[in-house]
Amino acid sequence: MSSDRHQDSDSYLNLTSDDPGELTDKVQQVRAELESLKQKQEEIEREKARLEELKRRQDSLDEGRSDMLDKLTRAMVVVQRETEESQKRVEQLAAIHHSFSQHLQQIESISPRSWSPQELPKELSRAISIVEDARADYTRSQAKLSVDTSSEDAPHSHHSGNEDFAEEERGFTYWVRTGFAFTLPLQIIVVLALLILVWSMTTSK
């Protein structure tokens, strides 16, 4: 086996002075092979860089896709819940608005001057009933509205002193209006009682 390697070495080193062209050809052949290997190495390195960039982008896509799938899924649940609550709130407000409109029409339709003496007791009872029904419905609805309003204002109500100050700022006019609202049914009853008294006095004459 060593003799074969020796023969191969001799084939490369057996350069006679009368064969310079063969040496030149071999040198050029080796240079061409080296250049070809260098180009292949550069191509391999470019392909490697391209594949690494693709892998990086693929990993980034997988990570971003997983993150957004998780966030959007949870956000959709929140949005759906908020939408349902908003729809319920709109329906509730629509029902309250419709109820208030009906009570308003009924109260505006009360006209004691148009009642005849014979109709007065009956119409008086009916009018009082209308006012009381409106007040009861208003109280129930106001409680619902106050709950929603207080829940919305909760983050801004951490300064109790401001609330006390606002309470004081309401002043006399506020309490007059409040007292008038609470005593409105009683006032109506008193007025109607006076009408009955006047009617009784008139008929007795």
pLDDT at 165 over 50: no
Q: What single-letter amino acid sits at 113?
A: R
User: Distance from first CA to last CA of the chain, Å, rounded?
Assistant: 156
Identify the pLDDT of residue 177: 57
Residues 48 and 135 in one domain: no
**127, 188 in Cβ contact below 8 A?**
yes
pLDDT at 178: 53
* Domain count of the fold of the chain: 2
What confidence score (pLDDT) does residue 162 get?
45
Where does the chain have alpha helices with state H? 2-13, 20-108, 120-153, 160-182, 184-204
Decide which of 9 and 96 is more confident: 96
- Mean pLDDT score of the chain, rounded to an integer? 75
Q: Do both 126 and 191 map to the same domain?
A: yes
CA 8, 38, 44: angle at the middle one, nearest 5? 120
**Phi and psi (nearest 5°) for 15?**
-110, 105
* 3-state DSSP assignment of residue 115: coil
Instruction: Pick the most confident of 31-45, 152-166, 167-181.
Output: 31-45
Answer for the pair 109, 127: CB distance below 8 angstroms, yes or no: no
Are residues 105 and 117 located together in one domain of the fold? Answer: no
Asked whether the predicted pLDDT for residue 95 surpasses 50, the reply is: yes
Based on the fold, state whether residues 59 and 121 are members of the same structural domain: no
16 lies in a domain?
A: no
Tell me whether residue 48 is in a domain: yes
Asked whether residue 174 falls in the same domain as residue 125, the answer is yes
Same domain assignment for residues 118 and 102: no
Which residue's entry shows tokens 């390195």?
Answer: 45
pLDDT one-digit tens code per residue, 3-48: 454 444 444 445 444 466 677 878 888 888 888 899 999 999 999 9
Domain extent, residue 68, equals: 22-109
What pLDDT score does 65 carry? 92
| Choice between 185 and 135, residue whose per-residue pLDDT is larger | 135
| Res 81: pLDDT | 93
The answer, yes or no, to whether residue 60 has pLDDT greater than 60, is: yes
Chain segment 62-84, per-residue pLDDT in tens: 999 999 999 999 999 999 999 99
The answer as to whether 168 is a domain residue is: yes
Confidence at residue 11, expressed as pLDDT on a 0 to 100 scale: 47
Residue 179 falls within a domain, yes or no? yes
Residue 5 falls within a domain, yes or no? no
Residues 86 and 149 in one domain: no
pLDDT at 51 over 80: yes
- CA dist 150 and 40 (Å) reads 75
In a domain, 177, yes or no: yes
**pLDDT beyond 50 at 159:** no
Per the model's pLDDT, the better-predicted residue between 61 and 166 turns out to be 61
pLDDT at 157: 45
pLDDT for 161 beyond 60: no
